[in-house]
Amino acid sequence: MTSLYPGHFISFEGIDGAGKSTHVDAFCKLMQDRFPGKEIILTREPGGTALGEQLRSLLLDAPMNLETEALLMFAARREHIAQVIEPALTAGKIVISDRFTDASFAYQGGGRGLSIQKLNELEQWVQGRADGKLLQPNLTILFDLPGEVAEGRRSKVRAPDKFEKMDLNFFDKVRQEYLRRAKEDPKRFYLVDATKTPESIWGDLQAIEIKI
């Protein structure tokens, strides 16, 4: 995709326990070193705004109807785009988001079974621009690994949230939907083999060529 904004948008994705959060802070520092003149914004979904963080607490804990869940994810995203992402990209900043729309396709679509057509419609609605183009990350780094490896890695320190409590079959479907999205848009995705050691994954992240 040719850039729609002066800034650059990077998302991190993967199933729970894939290790993306371990690397996202270091990746921001790496970007700051590489592009010292650029401001880096680290944000996350669901969340990233005061309203989005309130919705996050509900989404991660309260049981709800699947369509309600998808609509709230996209409502939080609309606010995130309007308040944070679009202004930052317009101002030429580098936005790094821990998850974005691919997570809705993977979790609400793949994992929970919401129709992909409905998700496509929500994506068009929430990310569509006046010129008919779609706001998407310039680069999505997908931490890919089997559900059983991820399960062993998930934090045993804090209580699992609603999604982390799901079974292996759920995470296998989440993973397959992430991989389908990656296949559909190979130029946007960079796949990381997240079964590797953190040192090796870090080497892969450093090797990504980022053209800004």
The span from the CA of 49 to the CA of 156, in Å, is: 28
The amino acid at 58: L
Which string of x and - marks every residue 125-164 that binds ligand TMP (by CB under 6 A)? --------------------------------------x-
- Report if residue 177 touches ligand TMP, rule: CB under 6 A: no
The span from the CA of 28 to the CA of 157, in Å, is: 25
- Report if residue 181 touches ligand TMP, rule: CB under 6 A: no
Q: Which stretch binds ligand TMP (CB under 6 A): 82-90, 103-111, 134-142, 201-209?
A: 103-111
**In the bound complex, what is the minimum distance in angstroms from residue 2's beta carbon to ligand TMP?**
26
Cβ contact 42:31 at 8 Å: no
- Report if residue 31 touches ligand TMP, rule: CB under 6 A: no
Of residues 12, 180, 185, the one with CA closest to residue 110: 180
Residue number, 128 or 207, with CB nearest to ligand TMP: 128
- Report if residue 45 touches ligand TMP, rule: CB under 6 A: yes
- Report if residue 99 touches ligand TMP, rule: CB under 6 A: yes
The DSSP string of 154-167 is S-SSSPP-TTTTS-
The span from the CA of 64 to the CA of 176, in Å, is: 24
- Report if residue 73 touches ligand TMP, rule: CB under 6 A: yes
Q: Which stretch binds ligand TMP (CB under 6 A): 23-31, 100-108, 118-126, 142-150?
A: 100-108
The amino acid at 190: Y
The span from the CA of 167 to the CA of 147, in Å, is: 9
Which residues sit at the interface with ligand TMP, rule CB under 6 A?
A: 16, 44-46, 60, 73, 98-99, 103-104, 107-108, 163
